[in-house]
Structure 1
Amino acid sequence: MTDQIECSGAVARRRLAFCGAAVAALVCGSAVVAQEAGTNSASSGGGALEEVVVTARKRTEDLQRTPISITAMSGEALEARGVTQVTELSNFTPNLIFQNIPSNSGVASNASVYIRGIGQNDFAPTIEPGVGIYVDGVYLGRTVGGVFDLIDVERVEVLRGPQGTLFGRNTIGGAVSLTTQEPGPSFGFKGDVKYGTDNLVNVRGSVNLPINDAVALRLSGGQLSQDGYVKHPFDGRDLGNKVSTTLRGALKAELTPDLKVVLAADYFLDKSHGPPVVITGVGDLEGFVALQNALAATGAPPPSFGGPGDPSLCLTPAYLNTPGCYNSRYFSTDTNYGSGPNYSRVETWSTSGTVTWNLGPAEVKSITAYRHLKGAFAQDRDGSPIKINHVADTYNQEQFSQELQLQGNVFDDRMNWLVGLYYFTEDGANLNPVDFLPVALQSGGRFNYKSWAAFTQETFRVTDKLSLTAGLRYTDDKKDYTPDQFFTALPFGPLFTCYIPTVHACAVGDRVVPNTVVKARSNAVTPMVNVSYQVTGDAMAYATFSKGYKSGGFTQRIFPPEQSLPSFNPEHVDSYETGVKYQTADHRVRLNLSAYLTKYRDLQLLVADATRVGPFYTNAGRAEIKGFEAEFSAAPGGGWRLDATAGLTAAKYTELANNVQGLTLDSKFALVPKWTLSGGVENRLELGAAGSLLPRLDVIYRSGVFTNANGVNHPKLYQPAYAVANASVRWTNKDGRYFVVAGVDNLTDKKFRTFGDYQASFGFYMEGFDRGRQWYLRSGVDF
């Protein structure tokens, strides 16, 4: 299918030939914010763009002099644009896809993150995320619970491309780094209340309490609730609702002028009726749907797995209401007719301690953290009163990490150096009872992983304009996994072959795979080389070569039985990037451009396999990804501000393994659009003693994409290109302490797919759609 680009409501694909004329294309539409991490922003009335400060290289730097592709935004900028959940970061970050999808379960808070086409959508602990999420320098090992509210955030940084030198593990696609507000020396309070569509209520607040000159405490929290939008007639508990609680506390002690300790703890609870998914059709009468309809067509018990009847009869009008037939009466875009369990509950809590000690010629930093995750979720995946595919999960994980950094400057500050050690361990269990039409079994297992790394990075300023940076990281991963998988029911008798202890017809209690520990060991060296040149005081050019690595794993969901648990190897990328950063001397215009080429090999992919029922992971082959990012901001005066971003991800498979089914070299990457565009315009209107008004319009565009989480490009699961417009008006009183915002998201009520799943083993199409237009009112204080 051909990508089509909409600009101000018209198809304008030809306008996107902007490799050499980025600004012209960026202004197409109107978009969301560019990079914001300062406090003296044009949006708050300043005459120039804000100064952007980042810590992407483990030290404080001006964004315009940091030679990497990064988008950064301050907590103030997030607040001003109504961004309250982490998934909304993708609205203004080129080539970032951050979604909440259920994957192969009923989890309602699973982060599916892709940067430059590399990421992961499955929550299973046997597969690693391809984009690392960090909170105050602490890596979140699992994607379950990775969709959370943004409470008391100081800064967000999105680093594109492999971060194989300075960041923890599995950042082969990039990293999303959130920094929360530290306690400060002055009393302060801020809070807001938001009410909107479907009884949306979001209450948030934070308070800063100085205890004495050296010690301060900061407490924050939030409560979010919203009704569901997919009807569930069986129990009246509509799907897609939101109920979450977030709490956080931090204590900072400046023990000496050179020694600072920050202790932090947080708690997050997310519970809902389950993700907003519906059934929209069946395939070519494949899998368990065909078996169910064959049974319904005759009413006779099956002498074989294939069934005795004609399954196509159930799709004819005469059989529309025949009991047992799975057909169009269960298809819908706003109603789920399932009668099985649907629920999702995820609870996490963590503690951390960060010690920063200035030794004079060097600085030592220690980050110690522990995180506990507990989840339980279930889903009637067939969306009908017929039991074809029911799944449930219990999910428990504990992780501990320790990072040590030592950095300093030598040679009259011409060289900055950093060395460090990193240790990470996690263990837990994901037990997964499943109930299919011809069989019920427990799937899943227990895991115990350990990883350690040593890293270094140095930047040498050769001249006042030319700088060279080199980095290296050695990573060692060890994984132990114990599958705990056995049959719990065989309603049609011994239809399957088991292998333990000998080959025989399966019976209840037999193992699907051996209940023995399987091991995976891998290590990698990931270098990075960067050269940057400060052409003028306002312009910089840079080029980077880097390698990325993601550890291997196992296929957790096995059926029919196998003699051993399938595994897959690590994946690797070689990344080439070049970029330009420019800002006018008066700080009224900023333009940052980057282009990249990624060589992707041994990519881990969830693929179709005709011999297996469950989704199957394998090293699918090789791919090449190329593209660019462009970010533009302008403050021309008179209270106006313009922002625009553009991202191109042109991904192509170049080699596929022989065991990969359902894909060809012409297949597109699932869930990754070729184009991500955004643009925004605002104008501050001063009202004198009455304060000010700030109307804003944002447009977010995504080109067409296949939404099937299991890789295969099913035409029915294709989401054509679409654009979404958001509008708001913000009133702020004269001293900036009080504000009221009225806004509408998805102004034109655009309906688009957010998730899709089709597996031939089952035979039905499951899809998720956006909630649609939402209005809101928000009021708050800050003093």
Structure 2
Amino acid sequence: MTRSRVAALAGSVSLLVMLGATPARAQDTSTDTEAASADSDEIVVTATRRAESVQDVPLSITALSGETLETQGITDFRDYAAHIPNLAFGYTQSLGGTAQSVTLRGVFGSGTTGFYLDDAPLPGSIDPRVLDLERIEVLRGPQGTLYGARSMGGTIRLITRRPDAGATTAAIAAQVSTTRHGGENGSADAAINVPIVADVLAIRASGYYEATSGIYDRVASPAAPANFGTVRNVDSAHRYGGTIALGAEFGGLTITPRYMFQRGTTDGRALADVNAGNFVQPRLFDIAEPGSDDWDLGTLTIDYDTGKGHITSATSVFGRTVHESEDFSEIAQLLFGTPAIPAIMRAHSRSESTAQELRFASDLGGAVNLTAGLFYQESSDRLVFPPTPLPGIVPDVYSQDFLTKKTEYAAFGEVTVSPVANLRLIAGARVFDNKVTFTGAQDGVAVTPASFAGTQKENGVNPRFAAQYDVGGDAMLYVSAAKGFRTGGVNAFSASLCAGSLAAVGLTPADALSYQSDSLWSYEAGAKTRWLDRKLTLNGALFRIDWNNVQQGISLACGFGVLVNGGKARSKGGEIEGSLAATDWLNLNFGAGYTDARITDGGGNPAFPNGARIQQVPEWTLNAGFDIEANPGVPLTLHADYNYVGQSFSRSNAPATRRVRPAYELVNLRATVHLEQLDLSLFADNLFDEAANLSDLPSLAIELPGRPRIVSSRPRTIGLEGRIRF
């Protein structure tokens, strides 16, 4: 952090401390009262499919409560990702401006981090707006036993608030803000809970709308046939969505049907040319690049309390449609040697999935407890590029229609045994059977017309072992060893066109037709502790991950890319997190993560040289923040947070082609006045206007040489928010 930023932040801290010198409310300072207060602030999680304090779970978990999400103004993935040690992300998919690929503890790649909304498994690239949530849980390390193949590196869980048949509650919020280099933004959201039959049946609904100003301007490049001037804020975006749920509870039976949807549109691609912080997009023509991302989720959860445990059925149906477009006029001119001709490439995808889980989690109150269940999921992903014309030259530059279907069956179980007081031994396993089928076709003058088809099947077992020891009432030590895996798949390429290219890298078309799962073993040792009469919570963990048969991408000279198995990688490091109730008006929190993730055996792939750091993974992630409660005439809450993400590499590790993502720092401030039922907040996001390079996004067509397109952080945004609770 630069000296000027340190001084500015220190000044802010000094001001906040002076304001906080008068506590907002008096508190009993007895030890019992402080302990009770600390316990009441403790977050209960369901990471192990049973409700436990986060301090009692033998896993490295970051949990953010719904109150924290509101206090810090967290509304989407980028907001909360910065608060999670050893979480990194990049944008590795061409479709979807929010198509992030999440990495935990250095396990990078598509499908390595699970993403759940309640009990529904969803694509990791989805970004639901954070609204009416009970909490967010981030589970580090393989979660293959309870969460399956999509949790090779860890799992992110968004837990919604359930309907409450005991009370009527409601909240309405509105926000206005302005963004540097952009314009005005606005949003509104509301949530309401209404009992229908007291203590039996309730309905809960929430909804939101937000408009985000664009920050990029399109201008005529020096080579443009005509000067079309400056088109400002070409990437403006709109998003709206909502949830409605019923909750019925009687005789130990709880039934919760829920429907959630989100609709998002963008007027243009929010991408910087070449460097983050460049807000000008020079183009040959004034061609808009609109896109949309719409999804629907229906779930039905049925839970029965047997008195000896809970039987839970979780059903989910998900559908998502994404449309994207991209100006490829300059690429067309370069490839075909024609005069400048307006050309746009379009693509859309459709994803559908149905999942069913049936499980039992015991509550025997003795030395043995069990969680066991069955899981089934069927999903399909279709990616279509309609015929792409170059007007007056060719009717179709490129077109494709690819369809991938996946089916997964699994049975899982985990048993916990306490042979002596304070000691728990845990063993579990997941037995799986997966099938992937692929069909596709491509056409156009840029490729050789061809059709593709293939099938890949696999089954296996993924175990987990752990031991947990309670050291008194305020400390717990644990060790674990777990296996994680990622399903395999099928490649699409022209066998006749690419036979020579494959031979050059030691493969035959038969070898490259499919690729198998890759797997890893993770070893972890950690401690969860509380000190100073529970004013200080300090949790930490060390880990080592050995990753085998790594799925690696190879770009072929024939123009296709394939995934193959080969090579090994190792990731090692640790994280530490803490919170301190320093006084009755000052709370501090902090976290740090270190990951050394490297290729140990590239398997002969030049894009993965031995010793190279794994893509998209920074060595250091740091976060710190404080909250002050003050009363300079009115109750006031003051919040500040600082987040640091270290340098990483994207796209390729080959020295000649790899790209550096510089380290970046983000600082956010928020002050809230509490006036009975009304909260008024003044906030500044990205206070120092950092232009953070979050990733370079793959092009829909072909990347113009020398012009990568960068996903960048939003510039400094200052605004006002009001929230009314009833």
Q: Which TM-score bucket, shorter chain as reference?
A: 0.7 to 0.9
**Cα deviation code 1:610-638 (max 9, x no counterpart):** 51434443335110000101001000214
Aligned to 1:431, which of 377, 384, 388? 384
SS of corresponding position for 1:485: strand
Q: Which amino acid aligns with 2:568?
A: R
TM-score (norm. length: structure 2) = 0.85
Aligned pairs for 1:5-44 (under 5 A) are none
> What secondary structure sits across from 1:662 in the alignment?
coil
Q: Which residue of 1 aligns with 2:185?
A: 200
Q: Which of these residues, 121, 131, 155, is aligned with residue 135 of structure 2?
A: 155
Residue deviations 1:377-434 (CA, integer Å, cap 9, x gap): 1223677794759643221121101000112144x52211011000000124111358
Please give the alpha-carbon distance, in whole angstroms, between the structure 1 residues aligned to 2:477 and 2:578.
16
Give unpaired runs (5+ residues) of structure 1. Answer: 12-29, 31-39, 121-127, 282-330, 491-495, 499-509
**Structure 1 equivalent of residue 506 of structure 2:** none
Contact persistence 2:638–2:671 (CA under 8 A): yes
688, 694, 708: which one aligns with 2:637 = 694
Q: 1:107 to 1:373 in 2, by over 3 A?
A: same
**Partner residue in 2 for 1:742:** 682
RMSD value, Cα: 3.0
| CA deviation after TM superposition for structure 1 residue 725, in Å | 1.3
Alignment partner, residue 81 of structure 2 = 90
Shift of the alpha carbon at 1:709? 3.4
Find the counterpart in structure 2 of residue 361 from structure 1. 308
In the TM superposition, what is the alpha-carbon distance from 1:765 to its structure 2 partner? 3.1
Contact between 1:524 and 1:549, CA under 8 Å: does it hold in 2? no
1:449-499: per-residue Cα shift (whole Å, max 9, x none)? 110100000111222211101111011110111012122x36xxxxx7x5x
- Following superposition, the deviation at residue 370 of structure 1 comes to 0.7
Matches within 5 A, 1:294-313: none
Matches within 5 A, 1:29-108: 48=38, 50-98=41-89, 101=91, 103-108=92-97
- Equivalents in 2 of 1:405, 1:359: separation in Å? 13
Q: TM-score, normalised by structure 1?
A: 0.79
Structure 2 unaligned spans of 5+: 8-16, 18-26, 221-227, 336-342, 500-508
Please give the alpha-carbon distance, in whole angstroms, between the structure 2 residues aligned to 1:436 and 1:673: 41
Q: Does 1:135 align with 2:117?
A: yes
Which residue does the alignment assign to 2:212?
A: 226
Contact 2:498 2:558 in 1 (8 A): no
Match of 1:640 among 586, 596, 601: 586
1:273 aligns with 2:253: no
CA 1:598 to 1:779, structure 2 compared with 1: closer, same or farther past 3 Å?
same
Among 621, 634, 638, the residue aligned to 2:567: 621
Match status 1:478 vs 2:459? no
Aligned to 1:449: 406
Summarize the alignment of residues 315-326 of structure 1 with structure 2, pairs less than 5 Å apart. Answer: none
Match of 1:406 among 353, 360, 369: 360
Listed one character per residue, the Cα deviations across residues 93-126 of structure 1 (whole Å, up to 9, x for unaligned) are 1011245x3x352422212211111133xxxxxx
Query: Contact conserved, 2:607 with 2:652, CA < 8 A, in 1?
Result: no
Paired residue type of 1:110? A
DSSP-derived class of the 2:274 partner:
strand
Alignment-mate amino acid for residue 521 of structure 2: D
After TM superposition, the structure 1 = structure 2 runs for residues 107-118 of structure 1, keeping only pairs within 5 Å, are: 107-118=96-107
Q: List aligned pairs for 1:712-731, cutoff 5 A.
A: 712=654, 717-731=659-673
Cα distance in structure 2, aligned partners of 1:136 and 1:362:
19
Q: Distance in 2 between matches of 1:779 and 1:52?
A: 26
- The 1:259/1:641 distance shift into structure 2, 3 A limit, reads same
Q: 2:24 is matched with which residue?
A: none
Query: 2:696 is aligned with what amino acid?
Result: G
Alignment partner, residue 315 of structure 1:
none
Which digits, 9 at most, give the CA deviation of each residue in 1:581-638, with x for residues without a partner? 101262210000000000011222334x351434443335110000101001000214
Taking a change above 3 Å as real, the CA distance of residues 420 and 347 of structure 1, as seen in their structure-2 partners, is same
Counterpart of 1:380?
327
Inter-CA distance 756–86: structure 2 relative to 1 (3 Å threshold) = closer
Structure 2 Cα separation of the partners of residues 562 and 182 of structure 1? 54
**Residues 588 and 518 of structure 1: CA distance in aligned 2, closer, same or farther (over 3 Å):** same
Q: Indicate the percent of aligned positions where both proteins have the same amino acid.
A: 24
> How far 1:73 sits from its partner (Å)?
1.2
1:545 to partner: Cα distance: 0.2
- The SS at the match of 2:432 is strand
Moved more, 617-626 or 217-226: 617-626
Give the CA deviation at 1:716.
7.8
Q: Distance in 1 between matches of 2:69 and 2:714?
A: 22
In structure 2, distance between residues paired with 1:714 and 1:382: 27
- Give 1:575 shift: 0.2
- Residue aligning to 2:224: none
Q: Give the aligned residue type for 2:435.
A: K
Residue 371 (structure 2) aligned to one of 418, 435, 438: 418
448 and 149 in structure 1: CA distance in 2 versus 1, 3 angstrom threshold: same
Q: Is the 8 A contact 1:118 1:130 kept in 2?
A: yes
Distance 1:382 1:595, change over 3 A: farther
Residue 176 of structure 1 pairs with residue 116 of structure 2: no
Match of 1:570 among 504, 514, 517: 517
Distance (Å, rounded) in 2 between the aligned partners of 1:390 and 1:718: 29
Could you list the per-position Cα deviations for residues 167-217 of structure 1 after superposition, in whole angstroms to 9, with x for gaps in the alignment?
Answer: 143110100001101011211111211111221111111011111121100
- Aligned match of 2:696: 756
Query: In the alignment, residue 603 of structure 2 is paired with which amino acid?
Result: A
The residue identity in structure 1 corresponding to 2:206 is S
1: CA distance between counterparts of 2:48 and 2:124? 24
Instruction: Give the whole-Å Cα distance in 2 for the aligned partners of 1:742 and 1:715.
Output: 44
1:671 shift after superposition: 1.6
Q: Is the 8 A contact 1:48 1:588 kept in 2?
A: yes
Corresponding residue for residue 318 of structure 2: 371
Stretch deviating more after TM superposition (710-719 or 421-430): 710-719
User: Distance between the aligned counterparts of 2:496 and 2:682, measured in 1?
Assistant: 54
Write the deviation string for residues 733-754 of structure 1: whole angstroms up to 9, x where unpaired.
2x4x211111111111122212
Please give the alpha-carbon distance, in whole angstroms, between the structure 1 residues aligned to 2:367 and 2:312: 22
Q: SS in structure 2 opposite 1:166?
A: helix
Match in the other structure for 2:252: 258
Aligned residues of 2:368 and 2:416 also touching (Cα < 8 A):
yes
How many residue pairs get matched? Answer: 660
Distance 1:675 1:6 in 2: 17
Deviates more, 1:478-487 or 1:768-777: 768-777
Q: Name the counterpart of 1:249.
A: 244
* Aligned residues of 1:568 and 1:619 also touching (Cα < 8 A): yes
* Greater alpha carbon shift after TM alignment, 634-643 vs 438-447: 438-447
Q: How far is the alpha carbon of 1:239 from its aligned partner?
A: 4.3
Q: Bigger CA drift: 197-206 or 586-595?
A: 197-206
CA distance in 2, matches of 1:226, 1:267: 19
Q: Residues of 1 paired with 2:3 and 2:197: CA distance?
A: 55
Given the alignment of the two structures, is residue 602 of structure 1 paired with residue 529 of structure 2, yes or no?
no
Counterpart of 2:595 in structure 1 is 649
> Of 536, 539, 557, which residue of structure 2 is paired with 1:592?
539
User: Structure 1 471/722 Cα, relative in aligned 2: closer, same or farther at 3 Å?
Assistant: same
SS at match of 1:451: strand
**Alpha-carbon contact 1:367-1:403 (below 8 Å) kept:** yes
The answer to whether the 8 A contact 2:355-2:376 is kept is yes
